[in-house]
Structure 1
Amino acid sequence: MSGVEWPAAPGLRRPRILRQQWLDLAFLHWAVEPAAVAHLFPPGTRPDTFEGRTYIGLVPFRMVGSALPHGPAIPYFGTFLETNIRLYSVDETGRRGVVFRSLDANRLAIVAAARTVFALPYRWARMTYEQSGSTHTYSSTLRWPGVHASALVTVDTGPAVPADPLADFLTARWGLHTHRGGRTWYLPNWHPAWELHSATVTTLHMPGLFPSVGLPEPAGPPDHVLYSPGVPAEFALPVKPASRRSASR
């Protein structure tokens, strides 16, 4: 590692509402023109950009030990596999975050709860995760009505990488934007600085996955790939709408 450190998360106000661990994450990203995805963002937000481009992210990982702020993890339902497709957002107050196009998980109860409480686009899927040395394999097949999509991702991981501006832009995100009740809300989170590693994609097969969330099939391999062993994370209550105008659009 170089002497440059990954940035620390801003403080998270109380009360906290949720804690969990995000483990064994693969970050696959494709650069796109902001205008190509701008119509997919909630009112009051727009594509965040790095050197004139924005990114589509595909992130498979293990969710472990979800729990309320205090007390033990939720048995069985608090640990599951997830694969999300995300975009990078900034709102009219300058808050940077992510916009999830999908969050596929293999716990139907979690899917139902997250869709109801947070208006997040969770979908039920059959999923597996396997690790063999430095090789990580993630598979997912949608079990969602009317959707035919799947993903098979294998990455070989390497050494830890030093901080750099693009990796920071893609991974140092301290909240998400979601649209609920006619308003766009920001759900803040906190986690320690990522330990990020180099990674190479050796298998990538995802028929129908991007079109299932309104995105075109990628024209080629990812432009940027990383892996992280993971971090603990906490969430606070959603904050007021991203802008006054968002409530009336």
Structure 2
Amino acid sequence: MDPSSREQPWVEPDAIDPVAPPLRSPTLAHQWWRDVSFLHWRVDASRVADLLPPGVRPDVIDGSTWVGLIPFRMSAAGPGGRWSVPWAGDFLEYNVRLYSVDERGRRGIVFLSLDAQRLLVVAGVNAALRIPYRWARMSCAHPAPGLDPSGERLVYTSVRRAPGRARTHLEVEVGEPIGRPSELDHFLTARFGAHTHAWGRTWWVPVTHAPWPLRRARARVVDDELVAAAGLPGLSGSAPDSVLFSSGVHVLFGRPERV
């Protein structure tokens, strides 16, 4: 949607804040995001604008927006804020995402694709919110819990089962902790909601979590087809412009709101 075509002006987003606002609605679900690698490429906003749902536009920092390829482990997911679902609540997920802002100034994420191990999760989330989950065969070699991951190399692999056969193979070397994350580091990670289009409307799904414990990282190998399959060919064939790593955070989800 072109903001210039609206009778009411868009609200400009507030300054980036790494501290999440509290949920205004009951907690619908919770989960841990662990062993998260953030690989990002800088792009012109015009390249991704048509990939966003109605009512949102690309979020921009220093004149550019960003495309993310984010592999991680989902853990202890379940309804409400306490209960976890055995087996189905623990799986690998790799997503391709864009950065969005809506007319009320709420910053968020738009998922172009999400590949996950659990067919039950893929079917359920697609049916409920039309979020583009795909079933995939996946693996991740990760640091032992409780150990300093500096110098560790995480190896993420995924082959989409259907539709298509898009795959990715990533090797990320974990570096030192970041004492004072930059504004860009926060822009790429402190996103407390997602925009999605379902049932003929665009929705805002709020989330809250503690600030990410971030580390510098290096992409040793990026052999990826997921970004191209999501509608951005040629991008992940170049080295990422930013690579970060986090051991993870606990995330709470609120009730979806109309945009």
TM-score of the alignment, normalized to the shorter chain, above 0.5 = yes
1:186 paired residue number: 204
1:3 paired residue number: none
Shift of 1:131: 2.4
2:249 paired residue number: 231
1:149-193 CA-to-partner distances (Å, cap 9, x unmatched) read: 100111111111122100111111000000011111000000000
Letter in 2 for 1:51: D
Question: Mind listing any 5+ residue stretches in structure 1 that lack a counterpart?
Answer: 1-5, 243-249
SS at match of 1:156: strand
User: In structure 1, how many angstroms separate the alpha carbons of the residues matched to 2:176 and 2:209?
Assistant: 21
1:247 paired residue number: none
Match of 1:205 among 203, 213, 223: 223
2:11 paired residue number: none
Count residues in correspondence.
234
User: In structure 1, how many angstroms separate the alpha carbons of the residues matched to 2:171 and 2:104?
Assistant: 38
User: In structure 2, how many angstroms separate the alpha carbons of the residues matched to 1:142 and 1:68?
Assistant: 27
- TM-score, normalised via structure 2 length: 0.88
For the aligned residue pairs, the C-alpha RMSD in angstroms reads 1.2
Question: Mind listing any 5+ residue stretches in structure 2 that lack a counterpart?
Answer: 1-16, 144-148
Q: Show the 5 A alignment for 1:5-24.
A: 7-24=18-35
Q: Show the 5 A alignment for 1:66-85.
A: 66-85=77-96
Shift of 1:148: 2.2
2:181 paired residue number: 163
User: In structure 2, how many angstroms separate the alpha carbons of the residues matched to 1:233 and 1:18?
Assistant: 8
Shift of 1:14: 2.6
CA spacing shift, 1:27–1:71, aligned 2, 3 Å: closer
User: In structure 2, how many angstroms separate the alpha carbons of the residues matched to 1:95 and 1:119?
Assistant: 21
SS at match of 1:49: coil
Shift of 1:213: 1.2
User: In structure 2, how many angstroms separate the alpha carbons of the residues matched to 1:41 and 1:60?
Assistant: 21
CA spacing shift, 1:70–1:98, aligned 2, 3 Å: closer
1:217 paired residue number: 234
Shift of 1:7: 2.5
SS at match of 2:185: helix
Does residue 109 (structure 1) correspond to residue 120 (structure 2)? The answer is yes
User: In structure 2, how many angstroms separate the alpha carbons of the residues matched to 1:90 and 1:113?
Assistant: 26
2:10 paired residue number: none
User: In structure 1, how many angstroms separate the alpha carbons of the residues matched to 2:228 and 2:181?
Assistant: 33
User: In structure 2, how many angstroms separate the alpha carbons of the residues matched to 1:157 and 1:211?
Assistant: 25
* Contact residue 30 and residue 82 of structure 2 kept, 8 A: no
Match of 1:120 among 131, 135, 139: 131
* Contact residue 114 and residue 134 of structure 2 kept, 8 A: yes
2:167 paired residue number: 150
Does residue 44 (structure 1) correspond to residue 55 (structure 2)? The answer is yes
User: In structure 2, how many angstroms separate the alpha carbons of the residues matched to 1:125 and 1:69?
Assistant: 27
* Contact residue 35 and residue 142 of structure 2 kept, 8 A: no
